[in-house]
Amino acid sequence: MLDPDYLRALDMGEARTVIAGRDAMLYALSIGLGADPIDPFDLCYTYERDLAVFPTMALVVMGAPHWLDDPRTGISWNHVVHGAEHLVVHRELPLDRPITARLHVAEIFDRDDKGALLVLERRLSDADGAPLATIRQQVLCRADGGFGGQRGSVARRPVPERAPDRVLDVALPGSAALLYRLNQDRNPLHVDPAYAAAAGFARPIMHGLGTFGFAVAALLRALGGGRVAETGVRFAGPVYPGETLALSVWDEPGGAAFRGMIETRGAIGLDDGFVHLA
């Protein structure tokens, strides 16, 4: 059974890393940038000359929660899925300079037969301690409800009810998960057919953060670029490598809201999405 006291007391300390140019370019390629190898927007993130780090790379910097499979947590690891993600970008991630990450369990909700909801908060800072990004991640532990904890939920940010201003087709290659997992998320749910079947999926699913990255990259290109100040999304259902997202976009002051649907299945993959530009 999930142990909320252990999770609340868990001290994960600080972790340090450096983003090399190769890391930044690999991440960009793993979210579909570079599909047009001469597109100036894509080249900003895939070519070492004047290379920039795509903003959603903050989500994978020291981000894979490997500790979730520690038996002391009481979490049923093979029934864990990603629920939602929220990113605030304080400044652009630096290349070849130290980055410090600190993670803690911010909230734990008991949803009984719907499982448990963990809210994890991770803060990234530079070598001087200045904030780079703040990430809040919702993790659904689908088999771990009923531990006697507080019921609750996290506020949603629904997309507008009117018709979207545009729809973008965002194609995920069949190899998308195989490439994206090289960003240090080696969860077998995204590569192992038997493991995915045991978790209740028809085949390995795409990483939620990978699908999110594809969506933000397509949306930022459509908006003509700009610096992302804040973005977030709810993972409403599985998306499979090889599928195409119909990304509905609603223009908003300083950014846009979005929803990603897989029309061939009539299913919503991404919902409550938004991007705010600085």
Cβ atoms of 228 and 129 closer than 8 Å:
no
Query: Cα-Cα-Cα-Cα dihedral of 22, 180, 165, 85, to 10°?
Result: -100
Catalytic member of 23, 185, 271, 272:
185
Of 143, 116, 121, 145, the C-alpha closest to 131 is: 121
Told to judge if 113 belongs to the known catalytic residues of this protein, a careful annotator would answer no
What is the SS3 assignment for 133? strand
Told to judge if 110 belongs to the known catalytic residues of this protein, a careful annotator would answer no
DSSP output for 169-209: EEEPPTTHHHHHGGGT---GGGT-HHHHHHTT-SSPPPPHH
Range list of β-strands (E), the chain: 14-18, 80-89, 98-110, 116-126, 131-141, 166-171, 228-235, 244-252, 255-262, 267-277
Q: Which residue blocks in the chain are alpha helix, DSSP H?
A: 4-9, 21-30, 40-46, 176-180, 193-198, 208-222
Buried/exposed code over 196-209 (b: 16+ C-beta within 10 A; e: otherwise)? beebebeebbbbbb
Of 61, 185, 64, 184, the C-alpha closest to 124 is: 61
Q: For residue 73, what is the DSSP state?
A: G
Q: How far is CA 260 from CA 129, 232, 241, 248, 274, in A?
A: 36, 13, 14, 6, 11
Of 220, 263, 269, the C-alpha closest to 240 is: 269
Catalytic member of 82, 86, 190, 276:
190
Give residue 266's Cα distance to chain centre: 22
Residues that are catalytic: 185, 190
